[in-house]
Structure 1
Amino acid sequence: MSRIVIAIMWLLHWLPLPVLAAVGRGFGRLLYVFVRRRRHIVAVNLRLCFPELDDAARRRLARAHFAALGRSLLERGLVWWASEERLRRLIRVDNEDVIRRLKDAGRPIILLAPHFVGLDAGGAGIAMRFDSLSMYARQSDAVIDHWLLHGRERFGDQMLLARDDGPRKTVRAMKSGRPFYYLPDMNFRTKDVVFVPFFGVPTATITGLARLARLAGAAVVPCPTRMLPGGQGYVVEVGEPWENFPTDDVEADIARMNREIEAVVRTMPEQYYWVHRRFKTRPAGEKKPY
């Protein structure tokens, strides 16, 4: 089955992006109808994060999210097979000179890349410009795993680490001049986490950003990817390095990270990865929401 999916994605990647985007939005609408479990997760997440919206508004946001998600899934074929020339036209990196300036100064860099649906396109945009470092989780399906890995490695000299690799490898790679494309905003484990607010909800959040920034002396640079409307492509929005980070208070640092991510989510709420059970780990005695 996975080979059929890959073949369809390969055929679709030849389409002009506006056409592919329309097909992807339609695919996402089908996912909204038929993938009930994920629809339930999205509904719970939106209820927790946007209590000020009424039910109808949250349903509209959920449908918009699935349309964006469908786009991102099919447009991943571009990341896997489109020429570098085409991808450079479709994926813009704003303010990449911020990264170059820090590299020239010999400063290790953490690119804070929250889980927006354009994440893989953003990773390709960075990889076409910089030999960088990122995390990789092996997939259970060998065919999907092969192509995901291929997409991460096709440009430049990229270094991929497993989630369970220790911080020493990460710090060494950053100190060697590789920007670290880092995704710290998912609920994958229960160790090295603190409960800090995300949209006002106490959320189990890994402390890796603060710990790695301190160990490497790294600058933290916001690096979200925005999917543009109408099949116009993607833009990686490189920001200025955070000032006064990290501090001596890890919990306060991670709370700041969540506030910064939340602020970007509010500018494009349909594009955040709401199908993930972000709030599945709860403080002791608190009921699980899903």
Structure 2
Amino acid sequence: MQFLAYILVYPILWVISKLSFRLLYLISDGVYLLVYYIIGYRKHIVTDNLKLVFPEKPEKEIIIIRKKFYKHLCDMFLEMAKTMSISEAQLRKRFVIKNPEEFKRLEGLNKSIIVIFGHYASWEWTIVLKNHISFKTFGVYKKLANKYFDNLIRTIRSRFDTTLISTKETIATINKFEEAGVRTLTGFLSDQSPRHTKDAYWQKFMGIDVPCFTGAERLAKKLDFSTAYLKVTKKKRGHYEAEIITLAEDSRTFKDYDLTKLFLQQLEKQIYEVPEYYFWTHKRWKHRKNNQQG
């Protein structure tokens, strides 16, 4: 069944990847109408999330943000497919690193680097980061249940010499390279909702107390890596800009959870400024303290 789903979907994705960007976004407009007005994909989750974190906004504004989000979501899905065949030159033109010199400065510290970012604007095209640093580059991801699509995702995101490693592989892989004296850059998407356990770390995110992932911070502190936030902004349709914001040159000097707090604060600023580019279909606030709303 997994293979059947794969062989049915893969040719469609491949054809989409070969389209011009102009045609790609025309199709995206049609997909938006289907997803938003007919299918209503996770619309109730998006609406609930927006009302939860923006209780002060009127219904009309919530609807405007929701529509803009779905248009962006459809663009991003087709951009993901486009990544199957996009050239390096095209990708560098469409995903620009604003301050590559900061990577070089961090590289000069002779420490491995942890880069934390969220599901904001575009995370698929962050694979272009490898072009700006000589370190071995990894991206941490959650393994997909369908092994064929999992292999496809690994292949797509590894096209420009970035290696994907699953969450379970991360510590062993990074330790192996550190022991061999090879410096690494590892990217973490750290704004997901972790399992609700008794020892979970809770922190306000968008005004709501929620459990937070701290794996990136714990790894940085344990191995004394530098830590940076990747601020990705959408400049216009199909064009993004990323800024490297250093959070810590010496992560061990920070108190526990301070780096996680700094990351969440940076991400919050972006969401408050332009909310439609956050990934609102995630059930980010499914675990929260009782009777809490904004």
Q: Which TM-score applies when normalising by structure 1?
A: 0.86
Match of 1:141 among 141, 146, 157: 146
* Identical-residue share of aligned pairs (%): 22
1:278 corresponds in structure 2 to: 284
CA contact (8 A) 1:199 1:262 kept: yes
Please give the residue correspondences for 1:105-254 in structure 2 after superposition, counting only pairs within 5 Å: 105-122=109-126, 124-130=127-133, 131-156=136-161, 158-165=162-169, 167-173=171-177, 176-191=182-197, 193-231=200-238, 233-242=239-248, 249-254=255-260
Identify the structure with the greater strand proportion: 2
Task: State the 1:98 CA deviation.
Answer: 1.1
Task: State the 1:164 CA deviation.
Answer: 2.3
| Cα distance in 2, alignment partners of residues 3 and 62 from structure 1 | 33
| Cα distance in 2, alignment partners of residues 135 and 186 from structure 1 | 13
Q: Secondary structure at the match of 1:133?
A: strand
Moved over 6 A (4+): none
Task: State the 1:224 CA deviation.
Answer: 3.0
Task: State the 1:165 CA deviation.
Answer: 3.3
Task: State the 1:243 CA deviation.
Answer: 6.8
| Cα distance in 2, alignment partners of residues 276 and 176 from structure 1 | 35
Task: Render the CA deviation track for 1:103-138: whole Å, top value 9, x for unaligned.
Answer: 12202211112112410112x211344430121322
Task: State the 1:242 CA deviation.
Answer: 4.0
> 1:177 is matched by which residue type in structure 2?
R
Q: Secondary structure at the match of 1:266?
A: helix
Q: Which TM-score applies when normalising by structure 2?
A: 0.85
Q: Secondary structure at the match of 1:250?
A: coil
> 2:97 is matched by which residue type in structure 1?
V
Task: State the 1:287 CA deviation.
Answer: 6.6
Task: State the 1:166 CA deviation.
Answer: 5.9
Alignment CA distance shift 1:264-1:170 (3 Å): farther
Task: State the 1:195 CA deviation.
Answer: 1.2
> 1:89 is matched by which residue type in structure 2?
K
CA contact (8 A) 1:29 1:66 kept: no
Match of 1:77 among 78, 81, 103: 81
Which stretches in structure 2 are left out of the alignment for 5+ residues? none
Task: Render the CA deviation track for 1:163-194: whole Å, top value 9, x for unaligned.
Answer: 12363533554672111111111013235631
Match of 1:12 among 12, 16, 21: 16
Task: State the 1:274 CA deviation.
Answer: 0.9
Please give the residue correspondences for 1:6-45 in structure 2 after superposition, counting only pairs within 5 Å: 6-36=10-40, 38-45=42-49
2:96 corresponds in structure 1 to: 92
CA contact (8 A) 2:103 2:132 kept: no
Q: Secondary structure at the match of 2:187?
A: strand
| Count of residue pairs brought into register by the alignment | 284
| Cα distance in 2, alignment partners of residues 172 and 216 from structure 1 | 12
1:49 corresponds in structure 2 to: 53
CA RMSD of aligned residues (A): 2.6
| Cα distance in 2, alignment partners of residues 166 and 143 from structure 1 | 21
Q: Secondary structure at the match of 1:240?
A: strand
